[in-house]
Amino acid sequence: MATSPLMPKATAVWLVDNTGLTFEQIANFCRMHPLEVKAIADGESAQGIKGMDPVLAGQLSRDEIEKAERNPQYAMKILEPKVKVPEVKRRGPRYTPVSKRQDRPNAILWLVRNHPELKDAAVMRLVGTTKPTIQAIRERTHWNSASLTPTDPVTLGLCSQLELDLEVRKAERESPLPREAEGARLLSAEETMNAAPVADEDDLGLPNDMDIDPEAVFAKLKSVKSDDI
């Protein structure tokens, strides 16, 4: 069963522009972080990406969108594709035309930034590169790191959108999306008492058997007053 839509970022762009869904709902459906969706809504990300209608693509129903708009806590479910696309199996490294080989570092940089879940083997299959090159770009030790510009490998013609989506889905199955951390909240009185018990005299290093002589104290006070007079 599909876990994320094809072209998730383009789908997120369409959902932001054409629905009243929350950032969390769109992020959950597109397998993105809510902050990425917020950046799309603010115009800080996905500039130039044309939105893709998931309803026309057969990945989401209009009823599912309306149901989610009525209930902000509802998580939309992706439709099962009607056509099964077999996974492309390739033997040996991908052949890259000589005219496009200079674009591979830019494509690798785009992949490691936008899809950190992809392993080196997946990046090698997509753009036909080597593991040392990927490692150098990850660690910014590549000889041309200062001039690299992250560019979508699909746009460069190094791989197809279908191949990229298949690799991303495979990586997601192998490493599921971590749950969001719970938001900060105030501790209850019981939790506070259990977490930070009040220190006693022994913990503070003070003697708990000190005897105080009241008469000596008052005598000292009287002597102080007499000196003042």
Tell which residue, 79, 72, 64, has the closest CA to residue 21. Answer: 72
The pLDDT-based confidence of 172 (bands split at 50, 70, 90) is: confident
Please report the pLDDT score of residue 193 as a whole number. 58
Average pLDDT over residues 58-83: 86
Instruction: Output the pLDDT for position 181.
Output: 42
Mean pLDDT, residues 109-138 = 91
Angle at 35 between CA 37 and CA 124, to 5 degrees: 80
pTM value? 0.42
Decide: helix, strand or coil at residue 87. Answer: coil
Mean pLDDT to the nearest integer, 124-136: 90
pLDDT over 90 for what percent of the chain? 24
Asked if residue 60 lies in contact with residue 5, where contact means CB atoms within 8 angstroms, the answer is: yes
Rounded to 5°, angle at Cα 166 from 155 and 104? 35
Q: How many CA atoms lie within 13 A of 27 on its CB side?
A: 19
